[in-house]
Amino acid sequence: MTDRELINLAKEASKNAYVPYSRFPVGAALECRGGIVFTGCNIENAALGSTICAERTAACKAISEGHRDFVRIAVYGEGEGYCYPCGACRQFLAEFAPEMEVLSAKKDRYVSNKLSELLPHTFNF
Ligand code: THU
C-alpha cells in the first residue's frame, strides 16, 4: 500500500470522529506486519480527559485483535499544520514499535518520520 493510500484510509476514518467539543476530526490508519490495517478516529467525552485520540483507537483495535507488530501509521487532520501524534499517542505506540514510521498528514501534504525521531527517549522502567 502506498503512503497516499494509507492516508486516504485515515481521512475516511476521520469521518467517524465524535468531536462535539473540539470540532476537530482526526483519523488514523495503522498498518501492521502482513499488511493488515486498523483504522481509528478520535472519540471525545463530556469529561474531556476521557477523550481518546484516533491513533490510540486504532492501536487498541489492532492489539485487541492480536496485532502488535506496527509498521506504519497515517494520522490525518485538516488543521493548519501537519497532524502529528500527541505525546501520549507517541508513548503508547512506542511501547510496541519504537522504530515504526509515522505519516503526519494535513489536507494535501504529509511528512514522514520514524517514531523514534518524534519521541527519542521513551519512558520505560
Ligand atoms: N487528537 C487526536 O485524535 N490525536 C492526536 O494525536 C492529538 C489530538 C484529538 C483529540 C481531540 O479530540 C482533538 O484532537 C483536539 O485535541
pLDDT, residue 23, reads 98
What is the 28 CA–ligand 1 centroid distance (Å)? 11
What is the 77 CA–ligand 1 centroid distance (Å)? 9
Q: Whose CA is nearest to atom 4 of ligand 1?
A: 53
Ligand 1 atom with the shortest distance to the CA of 17: 12
Our answer on whether the CB atom of 54 is closer than 6 Å to any ligand 1 atom is yes
Please report the domains of the chain, with CATH numbers, ordered by start residue: 3-118 (3.40.140.10)
pLDDT, residue 33, reads 98
Residue pLDDT, tens place only, 27-76: 999 999 999 999 999 999 999 999 999 999 999 999 999 999 999 999 99
Distance CA 2, CA 27 (A): 17
CA Rg, the chain, in Å?
A: 13
Our answer on whether the CB atom of 22 is closer than 6 Å to any ligand 1 atom is yes
Residue 78's pLDDT band (boundaries 50, 70, 90)?
Answer: very high
Distance CA 113, CA 59 (A): 18
User: What's the pTM value of the predicted model, to 2 decimals?
Assistant: 0.97
pLDDT, residue 35, reads 97
What is the 109 CA–ligand 1 centroid distance (Å)? 19
Which cell numbers in the block locate residue 83? 497532524
Residue pLDDT, tens place only, 110-119: 999 999 999 9
pLDDT, residue 72, reads 98
Our answer on whether the CB atom of 104 is closer than 6 Å to any ligand 1 atom is no
Give the CA angle between residues 85, 19, 89 to the nearest 5°. 20
- Give the residue numbers marked as catalytic: 55
